[in-house]
A = this chain, B = another copy of it.
Amino acid sequence: MSEQGGTPGTDGTTTGAPGGGTAALAGLAAYTELAAFGLLASRSVDAPDLVTRQALAAAAGGVLDRQRRLLAVAADRGLDAAEAMAPFDGVLADFDARTTPGSWQEGLLKGVVGHGVAQDLCRELAVGLPSDEADALRAAVRQEDADDPATTVLAEAAAADGVLASRLALWGRRVVGEALGLVPTLLAAHPALAGLAEAARSRAAADGGTDRAGEPAGRRAGADRSADVQAWLMARLTAQHTRRMDRMRLAA
* Given A34-B53, A81-B54, A60 contacting B41 (CB threshold 8 A): yes
Interface size in chain A (residues, C-beta < 8 A): 23
Query: Is A89's beta carbon under 8 Å from chain B?
Result: yes
Q: Is the CB of B34 within 8 A of A41?
A: no
Residues in B whose Cβ lies below 8 Å from that of A37 = 41, 44, 57
Copies of the polypeptide in the assembly: 2
Residues in B whose Cβ lies below 8 Å from that of A60 = 41, 60, 64
Query: Is A17's beta carbon under 8 Å from chain B?
Result: no
Q: Is the CB of B50 within 8 A of A45?
A: no
Residue of B nearest to A82 (CB): B51
Q: Is the CB of B41 within 8 A of A45?
A: yes
Query: Is A23's beta carbon under 8 Å from chain B?
Result: no
Residue of B nearest to A85 (CB): B50
Give the contacting residue for A64; candidates B42, B51, B61; CB below 8 A: B61
Query: Is A72's beta carbon under 8 Å from chain B?
Result: no
Query: Is A38's beta carbon under 8 Å from chain B?
Result: yes
The interface bits of chain A over 48-74 (1 if a CB of B lies within 8 angstroms of the residue's CB, else 0) are: 001101100110110011010000000
Bound Cα distance from A65 to B57, whole angstroms? 11
Query: Is A150's beta carbon under 8 Å from chain B?
Result: no
Query: Is A250's beta carbon under 8 Å from chain B?
Result: no
Query: Is A86's beta carbon under 8 Å from chain B?
Result: yes
Q: Is the CB of B54 within 8 A of A58?
A: no
A80 to chain B, nearest CB (A): 9
A-B contact pairs, 12 of them (CB 8 A): A34-B57, A37-B44, A38-B41, A38-B44, A41-B44, A41-B45, A41-B60, A42-B42, A42-B45, A60-B60, A61-B64, A61-B65
